Chains A and B, each alone.
Chain A
Amino acid sequence: GAVVSQHPSWVICKSGTSVKIECRSLDFQATTMFWYRQFPKQSLMLMATSNEGSKATYEQGVEKDKFLINHASLTLSTLTVTSAHPEDSSFYICSVRRVFGSSGANVLTFGAGSRLTVL
């Protein structure tokens, strides 16, 4: 299966600064990646679909100017949280989509996640 590396694992930043999180597909060319956010004791919430070579598709209620997504290559997608505030503190997780065999089923491989704390 695909191997997904996410960096950094932990990041602490001051309010008003920007933070970039990288998601790399190490052994699979990923045309589609997904970014999720998870608050404590809650489920994963899909933020956006990252498409290689084109603009990301954001879910309703997610500010595209605040959460900048770039998917410039088949192995790298980045999420930049701009002008971060304490309410942006969360666990951010990326995933790579892989079509399973001839069935057409979509299997996601997730990164280990990045925990952002904004002071």
Chain B
Amino acid sequence: DAKTTQPTSMDCAEGRAANLPCNHSTISGNEYVYWYRQIHSQGPQYIIHGLKNNETNEMASLIITEDRKSSTLILPHATLRDTAVYYCVLHGSSNTGKLIFGQGTTLQVKP
């Protein structure tokens, strides 16, 4: 699976939108973009995934550029409970299902 690049850390004010970028310039045609987050000392939590189109669910929105070389996870109204490490991961639908995690972005939501 292709590699992703994320900023090491970001801050966001409570109540504001948090925009977390991810670069995946070597993404291949069948690879989905997945986002997970891990709150301290807990197991990761699935947030959202997409292939080409922008996606939205009750947790977040995922914006994927037309060339698919980058994406942005948007938390529309960040709360203190959104403080976590956010992982952007690529995976092809034809693969085994195993996900390889990078270092992720530590998002600190501040009051």
Contact = CB atoms under 8 A, between A and B. Distances in A.
Interface of A: 1, 4, 6, 32, 34, 36, 43-46, 49, 91, 93, 95, 97, 99-100, 103-113, 115
Contact of B46 (A6, A36, A109, A111): A109
A43 B91 CA distance: 17
Given A43-B87, A46-B101, A49-B96, 4 more contacts: A1-B46, A46-B100, A106-B32, A106-B99
A1 B36 CA distance: 14
B98 A46 contact: yes
Contact of B49 (A46, A93, A105): A105
B contact face: mostly helix, strand, loop, or mixed: loop
B21 interface: no
Contacts of A4: 43
Interface string B89-108: 00101111111111110000
B45 interface: yes
B44 A44 contact: yes
A104 B43 contact: no
Given A105-B51, A113-B41, A113-B42, A43 B97 contact: no
A95 B103 CA distance: 18
B97 A111 contact: no
